[in-house]
């Protein structure tokens, strides 16, 4: 088999790494992995809705024509216009979770497609401000289906050593959407009619369409299939996408044994998939604390002010021109994409904890400087002081991008056991959306009332974020999804230790090899793991 590489050990641990193919061929030389990764990268585009929404609303607020159409919303009403998108997410997130658990991850995503088509069509053709708001509600609902089910699919179909990176890449699609929205609102800013905001509204469907071919060829989650009793189909998917069709691969047997054992153990222990079960054990309470706190920090670190009210922030430091504001918005989105993707590719090399702590530190320092400069500008009204705020806003978002963008979804998704994984994602999004809803409603009021002094609130939150991450966020690299139980529930919680799983997988491979030698044709190992022990 050869010696497992250090990078593989970092990603999945020594035991699983030792059953990986050791032919020294990069994944890009294996057709089945190229196909799988292209499918997953397509799925990552479905995270674009949230980013598109934040950026388009920033851009539209710089367009006089949109303000006229919406009857010049300000204060609380402007907050509601922005927040209604997240109200749609809140309503649909629990529904998406139930559909994903009962009918499959892919069917849940298909529902998301139907809802987004309806929402984009209505927003583009909106005859009045009320229709525009209803359309935003629908588009937010579609995002709930995408945001809940797609991360599950990615985590549960990805090649073991690629799972951590690809799971983290998912949420970086946020900035792909925000860049397109920023470009669209900049390009249409001088249109002399309502198409100045209707064209950007229509483009919300662009990335879901781009993702559709990859999603069409995406397999259903093998874990979902095993949970529903379709062991053979699950094994076939893992064999095709992880081993190039080699049914006798130790890797296939290892994964099947590990997944079957974990799911069967959860059922034997009578683990339910109810929300109440999320707080019944010490390990689940730890997971729940991480999920809720991370979601809150992701929206209350000061990013909400800049994401949805960049024009107001820039106006407070003297940058009031629509062209200047739109260019800064576009540049910020490109900057965010670069840093978030770089961080996503570092999750296994550097580890989750390093990224969390570096993120909190960078954001805290940057926000303190932004607060100080904004306060100084308010007193002196010097243009140079106001302009100096801009680079530190970029520094702040670099800090945000290295952890809170890639790990907001990926971290909760990997720490929850299968029976509660959809609920964990739902709680993460419901908490984040609740924080966003409150944020987008309150931020414009606070900014208008006290201006730069409002930033002090987020400085305090960032200090709390650093302390919380340092004390309570464990390192999860080097573990498969099924092995996370060892971290949160102790070694006794694992139905089968990694070394035992490896030994059994290799043993099964030898048994199948002997059977193949004795018979004509290929024999696929179908025995249930519990029956085989």
Kindly state which CATH superfamily the domain 27-491 is placed in. Answer: MFS general substrate transporter like domains (1.20.1250.20)
Helix H or strand E encompassing 33: helix 31-44
Which residues have C-beta within 8 Å of that of residue 427, sequence separation ≥ 6? Answer: 275, 278, 288, 291, 292, 295, 412
Looking at residue 29, its pLDDT comes to 86
Give the side-chain half-sphere CA count within 13 A for 483. Answer: 21
* pLDDT value at residue 4: 47
Residues of the chain with pLDDT under 50: 1-4, 508-509, 512-513, 515-517, 519-533
Per-residue confidence (pLDDT) for residue 531, from 0 to 100: 38
Q: In this predicted structure, what is the pLDDT of residue 388?
A: 78
- Sequence-separated (6 or more) residues with CB below 8 Å from residue 153: 43, 105, 106, 109, 218, 221
From 463, 459, 473, select the one nearest 355 (Cα to Cα): 473
Orientation of helix 129-157 relative to helix 418-450, angle to 10°: 140
* Domain boundaries, given as residue ranges, for the chain: 27-491
Residues with Cβ within 8 Å of residue 391, at least 6 apart in sequence: none
pLDDT tens, residue by residue, 26-39 = 888 889 999 999 99
362-414 pLDDT, tens digit per residue, is 999 988 887 787 777 667 777 777 677 778 888 999 999 999 999 999 999 99
Q: What is the pLDDT of residue 384?
A: 74
Tens digit of each residue's pLDDT (9 = 90 or more) over 255-290 = 999 899 888 887 776 556 678 888 888 999 999 999
CB 52 within 8 A of CB 211: no
Tell me what pLDDT residue 492 has: 56
């Amino acid at each position: 088999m050869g010696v497992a590489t250090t990078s593989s050990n970092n990603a999945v641990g020594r035991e699983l790494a030792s059953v990986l193919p050791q032919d020294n061929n990069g994944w890009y030389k294996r057709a089945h992995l190229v196909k799988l990764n292209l499918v997953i990268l397509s799925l990552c585009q479905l995270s674009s809705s949230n980013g598109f929404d934040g950026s388009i609303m920033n851009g539209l607020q710089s367009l006089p024509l949109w303000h006229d159409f919406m009857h010049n919303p300000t204060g609380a009403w402007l907050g509601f216009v922005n927040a209604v998108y997240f109200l749609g997410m809140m309503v649909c997130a629990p529904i998406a979770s139930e559909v994903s658990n009962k009918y499959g991850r892919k069917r849940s995503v298909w529902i998301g497609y139907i809802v987004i088509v309806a929402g984009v069509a209505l927003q583009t053709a909106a005859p009045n401000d009320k229709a525009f708001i209803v359309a935003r509600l629908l588009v937010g609902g579609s995002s709930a289906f995408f945001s809940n089910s797609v991360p599950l699919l990615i985590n549960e179909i990805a090649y073991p050593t690629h799972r951590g990176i690809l799971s983290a890449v998912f949420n970086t699609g946020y900035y792909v959407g925000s860049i397109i929205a920023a470009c669209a609102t900049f390009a249409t800013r001088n249109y002399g009619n309502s198409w100045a905001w209707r064209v950007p509204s229509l483009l919300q469907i662009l990335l879901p369409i781009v993702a559709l071919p990859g999603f069409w060829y995406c397999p259903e989650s093998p874990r979902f299939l095993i949970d529903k009793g379709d062991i053979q189909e699950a094994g076939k998917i893992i064999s095709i996408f992880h081993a190039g069709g080699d049914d006798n691969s130790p890797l296939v047997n290892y994964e099947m044994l590990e997944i079957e054992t974990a799911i069967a153990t959860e059922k034997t222990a009578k683990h339910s998939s109810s929300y109440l079960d999320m707080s019944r054990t010490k390990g689940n309470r730890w997971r729940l604390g991480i999920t809720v706190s991370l979601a809150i920090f992701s929206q209350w670190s000061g990013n909400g002010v800049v994401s949805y009210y960049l024009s107001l922030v820039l106006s407070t430091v003297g940058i009031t021109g629509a062209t200047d504001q739109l260019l800064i918005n576009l540049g910020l989105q490109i900057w965010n994409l670069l840093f978030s993707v770089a961080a996503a590719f570092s999750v296994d090399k550097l580890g989750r904890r390093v990224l969390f702590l570096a993120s909190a530190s960078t954001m805290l320092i940057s926000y303190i400087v932004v607060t100080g400069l904004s306060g100084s500008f308010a007193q002196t009204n010097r243009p140079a002081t106001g302009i100096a705020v801009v680079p530190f806003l970029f520094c702040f978002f670099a800090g945000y991008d290295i952890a809170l963008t890639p790990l907001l979804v990926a971290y909760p998704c990997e720490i929850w056991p299968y029976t509660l994984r959809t609920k964990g994602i739902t709680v993460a999004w419901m908490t984040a959306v609740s924080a966003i809803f409150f944020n987008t409603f309150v931020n414009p009021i606070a900014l208008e009332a006290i201006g730069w002094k409002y930033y002090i609130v987020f400085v305090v939150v960032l200090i709390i974020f650093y302390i919380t991450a340092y004390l309570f966020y464990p390192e999860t690299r080097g573990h498969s999804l099924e092995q996370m139980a060892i971290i949160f529930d102790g070694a006794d919680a694992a139905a089968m230790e990694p070394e035992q799983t490896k030994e059994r997988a290799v043993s099964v491979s030898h048994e199948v090899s002997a059977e193949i030698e004795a018979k004509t044709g290929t024999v696929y190992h179908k025995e249930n793991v519990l029956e085989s022990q």
